[in-house]
Structure 1
Amino acid sequence: MTRRFQRSAPPWLIAATMLFAWTARTLAATGEVSFTKEVAPILAKKCVTCHGPEKAKGNYQLHNFETLMKSGASQAAAVTPGQPTKSELFRLLVTADADDRMPQKDDPLPKGQIALIEKWIQQGAKFDGPDAKAHLASLIPRVPHPQPPTRYAQAVPIAALAFSPDGKQLAASGYHEITLWEPATGKLVGRIQNLPQRIQGLVWHPSGQWLAVGGGSAG
């Protein structure tokens, strides 16, 4: 995972953007199903590998909402808003024919996820994202990481260190955070939080305005 920060005023006041894999949510008992929050994560995790821009089995792609709604080689309607049983996407998820069932060569989707997709189609297969041509992975909401400890009871291993280009700041990996230090005095001047558990790479942009971060979680 890569994350970058831009410094505006103090070095620790930083705007962040990040991409990472997000776990699909389960079906809510009531309410409208969100494509970006609930359906897209399922499709991105289980379907895009075989039906994406680089590989499109059956000449069908669903790496974005626009292509998801188009027919594949069979010319059957991939998604018919309001009618799951007339939607090829849903039919292939529930068919008893092992040769046709999707995802192929993998376990069937859990019943809760299938019900979620069915409900989304029943409700009109609405798109609630900013851009129908955007890759599904970019639509998935970001999940906040756990907060780091207020203080460390004992020393933790430091896997990554990086001096800013002007040498006035030292970024160090922490637990779900990066700590920023003033090398001349050893003073802690900032903490960048909402990060993966383990930070394993830090690189400053030559301008000193950006800090690239690489990390992830154990397991």
Structure 2
Amino acid sequence: MASFSHESFPLGLSRAKEIPHPNFYVKALDGEFSFWAFSEDRAPQYKGCWREKVFEQNIDFPIDLEIGTGNGYFFAHRSESAPHRGLVGIELKFKPLIQSIRRALRRGSTNSRIVRFNASLVDMLFAEGELNNIYIHHPDPWEKRRKHKHRLIQSEYLERLYLLQRKDSFVEFKTDSRDYFDWSLDRFRKSPYRLGALSYDLHQSELAQANFMTHFEKIFVAQGQPIHYALFHK
């Protein structure tokens, strides 16, 4: 397994074991759900060996990634609908993290794992060519201009994602924010990714039939907001 120096622990990420009064969800990360859930201390140790050490599979086994699982409805759906593929979720907040893996396990999932980590530091978790498909659904849009630097989709970030993925993989991106969508399209188009599908109103397009509505997506659709969708290929 990869080595990980705690002296250089990433800024902006608190350590679960240092929380003075941990609640159920904090304790569950390294307790009840420790086989399926990986803390910010444990997860980087598996960089480069998720197939072998975590999923106990051969080199051809596909591993997909959901960045920001939220409450875990898509995470559970995806793990159940594609049992022949590994699925790793990244979530920073304790409660939705545990909710996500618990939902997957209740559906009988054996192919899903979840990690507590900062999504912008994804290359601390995975080696080049270790991932297959990546799902990014409704990330924080950081609407105010002075906050745009905090947006997940940045040119440099896409370059790193591209290296982590295997050939013929894809990135699926959804958001209700038109401004963030246009921002992201501009950066994807300047990246090595190739555009495969695009819709400014997903639920009024032919792509809707194969779409799984996330928790946030249902809220936005009920409010009459269009969902913007894009698929990019490596």
More relative contact order, 1 or 2 (CA 8 Å, 6+ apart)? 1
TM-score bracket, normalised by the shorter chain, equals under 0.3
Q: TM-score w.r.t. structure 1 length?
A: 0.24
TM-score normalised by L of structure 2: 0.23
